[in-house]
Amino acid sequence: MLENLARRLETAFKGIRGKGVLSAEVVDQTLKEVRLALLEADVHFSLVKPLIEKIRLKASTSEVSESLTPGLQVVKIVREALAELMGKQASGIPLAACPPTILMLVGLQGSGKTTTAGKLARRYKSEGRRVLLVAADLQRPAAVDQLQTHAKRLEVAIAMPQGEADPVEVVQKAVTRGRDNGFDLVIVDTAGRLSVDERLMEELVRMKSRIVPHEILLVADAMTGQAAIKVAQAFHEKLHLTGTILTKVEGDARGGALLSIRAVTDRPIRFIGVGEQLDALELFHPDRMSSRILGMGDMQSLLEMAEKSYTKEQAWRLQEKIQKEQFSLEDFREQMKQLKTMGSIEKVLEMVPGMKKIQVDSGRLEGELKQVEAIISSMTPRERQQPALIDGSRRKRIANGSGTSVQEINRLLKQFQEARKMMKQFSGAKQGGLSRVFASLQGR
């Protein structure tokens, strides 16, 4: 995600990180590199110049020059400026005081509206909301079938065309059904086109005036960069958008749409799509994203992911074992399995400060994890609990049983010891790591 931009910015800041004094020339050169990085990232050109000048003004204050780490202060200023450009804080969808909340998804064909409708339905159903999906894309018959598949899989209600030729009629009937039957949300999947055209806009304008939606959300493909921004401007001019949802962000190496679309439309990015699965929808946090772009990680999101993967009992049991130095190879194997439930290892590493630049081969890593599981499975229950028992002859037996070598057994045992020490440090820290996860789970 945004790897090209992150790499360019990392290069731009190499000359100032850790420096005790910053000359005007060094700051100018750094900001020149930042400017080029943003332009290459396809950030809208009208935003780059004022953004750089704003950073320059803040970087020239006495607070920065008198700081013990002025280089890091400049990086912090850039982080805050990028977060402000994207909207400062998260802005989810406010639900109507008098249900149902009506969400109207608009956008071009292929932007991911139908999948996003399913993702939103999944998200709100998991929060205990009653959701009604509305299949209003009569231009593409496959869209109706796709939305019906999502509804069946999620076990949510769906309103489909019953012979109507006008999608506005379909939507109006669905909204009436939503109000009469106590639904919390009505999510409307509208038709798209290959490009913006008047006929599409007229249909959407009629739909808007008939159902008066609480939210009109543009679903845009982040990978199209400047094109997504132009589409956003066109839709906003006609429909007055309330927000955007950017899809395919996980494959966007540049970040032009992500960094520009909020500033251009003056409407928040509500969510980002980070994969094809229905659970791959994240609330957009501008401050966290700017930290990730600059290689500062996103520990808050990582902790939230961990909280979803652990039950209260699992967390406290693990903490107790670590603190009593009873963390075993069996536990080590279970934690690796737990890591898989948190998503891809690239995504996890991206959230750890300083780890974004590490290149990970997913296929190779998956193979190594399977190998570790095979090695531990080849041990006796007693060996898993007491690794100190594993002498030379036992290592040969385990290697033969797992199809590995003694050297690989030695490496695993060393990694295990290092992991045990690290986890103990994290669990004992008052403000960090696992202890925060355990504390947050206490109220469950």
- pTM value > 0.75: no
In a domain, 230, yes or no: yes
The per-residue DSSP string of 336-370 comes to HHHHHHT--HHHHHHTSTT-TT----HHHHHHHHH
Q: How many Cβ atoms from other residues are within 10 Å of residue 204's Cβ?
A: 21
- Identify whether residues 128 and 32 lie together within a single domain: no
Q: Using 50, 70 and 90 to split pLDDT, how confident is the model at 102?
A: very high
Lowest mean pLDDT among 140-144, 195-199, 295-299, 335-339: 295-299
Q: Helix, strand, coil: what percent of the chain each, to 5?
A: 60, 10, 30
pLDDT confidence band for 308 (50 / 70 / 90): low
Domain co-membership, 133 together with 269: yes
Is 211 inside a domain boundary?
yes
Q: What does the pLDDT read at residue 188?
A: 96
DSSP result, 163-213: S-S-HHHHHHHHHHHHHHTT-SEEEEEE---SS--HHHHHHHHHHHHHH--
pLDDT, position 424: 58
Whether 317 is in a domain gets the answer: yes
Residues 267-281 have a mean pLDDT of 92
**Is residue 16 over pLDDT 80?**
no
Percent above pLDDT 90 for the chain: 41
Q: Are residues 284 and 322 in the same domain?
A: no
Q: Are residues 144 and 167 in the same domain?
A: yes
Give the model confidence (pLDDT) of 27-80 as tens digits: 888 899 999 999 988 888 889 999 999 998 888 876 665 665 777 778 888 888
Same domain, residue pair 77 and 137: no
213-239 mean pLDDT: 92
Query: Residue 94 carries which DSSP code?
Result: P
The answer on 257 and 349 residing in a single domain is no
| Whether residues 113 and 222 fall in one domain | yes
In sequence order, what are the beta bridge partners of 186?
Answer: 102, 132
Domain CATH for 44: 1.20.120.140
Q: Tell me, yes or no, whether 331 lies in a domain.
A: yes
Range of the domain at 370: 299-441
Residue 424, domain member (yes or no): yes
- 139 has a pLDDT exceeding 50: yes
In a domain, 91, yes or no: no
User: Total structural domains in the chain?
Assistant: 3
Q: How far is it, in rounded angstroms, from Cα 411 to Cα 44?
A: 49
- Is 95 a member of any domain? no
Whether pLDDT at 380 is above 80: yes
Q: Are 62 and 153 members of one domain?
A: no
CB-CB neighbours of 226 under 10 Å? 15
User: 338 and 415, same structural domain?
Assistant: yes
Chain mean pLDDT for the chain? 82
Same domain, 25 and 140: no
